Amino acid sequence: MKKRYFVLVRVVFISLLMIGVIILSCGKKDTPGDKTEEIKKTREGISEGEIASDFTLKDLKGMEVNLKEFRGKVVLLNFWATWCSPCRIEIPSMVELNKKYKDRGLEIIGVNLDKLGKSEVEKFSLEHKINFRVLLNPSGSVASLYGVVVLPTTVFLDRDGKIKGRISGALDWTAEANLNTIETLLELDVSSRDSLSQL
């Protein structure tokens, strides 16, 4: 009987202790500093919902370009190479996409992975009338950073620099479904945090 009594007292004591802890934790008010810390905790990385990992590469003019420069724009980060047949098939529709949406805040950045040198990429870009920014990554370091294993791969970033999705393989960017995706990205508020289910 005494044993049961002590077990019951113990259970009641632990229960009251847990209730007290819950009440104290619920009663804690957020301070402005707490919100700032929460915002700072937004992870940089390569997964959907994260801020895209930053990098700096040179363009075809030899100028250094940093990804953060494009905050406020919707970015299509396209990893490609001149020797990649699907990339060659995809490029004309990306040229058309850039013509259609550049003035509405779309920035297409082609991260080129050729090891042949700038002159070959420049020649290819002129032949194919590439009208979007091309950055040179012969070492493939940025492609590795983003976990790219298939060319072409396109990573979608919203105006806050957050990753909204990725697609591996060539697309016809002038197809209605793809244009709708771009329209949706362009129409999102800068403050929007929702993912696009179709990506």
Phi-psi region of 7 (alpha: psi -120 to 50; beta: other; left: phi over 0): alpha
- Residue 167 has, within 13 A of its CA and on its CB side, a CA count of 18
101 near 182, Cβ under 8 Å? yes
Cα separation, 48 vs 42, in Å, equals: 12
Higher pLDDT, 38 or 138: 138
Residue 42, exposed/middle/buried by CB under 10 A (0-12, 13-18, 19+)?
A: middle
pLDDT band with cut points at 50, 70 and 90 for residue 2? low
**pTM: predicted TM-score of the whole model, two decimal places:** 0.74
Cα separation, 180 vs 146, in Å, equals: 25
Which of 120, 52, 109 has the alpha carbon at shortest distance from 76? 109
Percentage, residues of the chain above pLDDT 70: 72
Cα separation, 140 vs 161, in Å, equals: 21
pLDDT band with cut points at 50, 70 and 90 for residue 10? low
Inform me whether the pLDDT recorded for 182 exceeds 80: yes
Cα separation, 76 vs 158, in Å, equals: 9
* End-to-end Cα spacing for the chain: 65
Give the CATH superfamily of 44-187: Glutaredoxin (3.40.30.10)
Using one digit for the tens of pLDDT, what is the confidence trace for 73-99? 999 999 999 999 999 999 999 999 999
- The residue ranges of every structural domain in the chain are 44-187
Question: Scanning the structure block, which residue is given the tokens 């250094």?
Answer: 64
Cα separation, 121 vs 82, in Å, equals: 7
Overall average pLDDT of the 48-52 stretch: 94
Beta sheet of 153-157, edge-to-edge order: 64-66, 56-59, 133-136, 106-112, 74-80, 153-157, 163-168
Counted residue by residue, the chain has a size of: 199
pLDDT band with cut points at 50, 70 and 90 for residue 43? low
Q: What is the pLDDT of residue 177?
A: 95
Residue 19, exposed/middle/buried by CB under 10 A (0-12, 13-18, 19+)?
A: exposed
Q: Is 136 helix (H, G, I), strand (E, B) or coil?
A: strand
Using one digit for the tens of pLDDT, what is the confidence trace for 148-159? 999 999 999 999
Handedness of CA 137, 156, 90, 62 (dihedral sign): negative
Inform me whether the pLDDT recorded for 192 exceeds 70: no
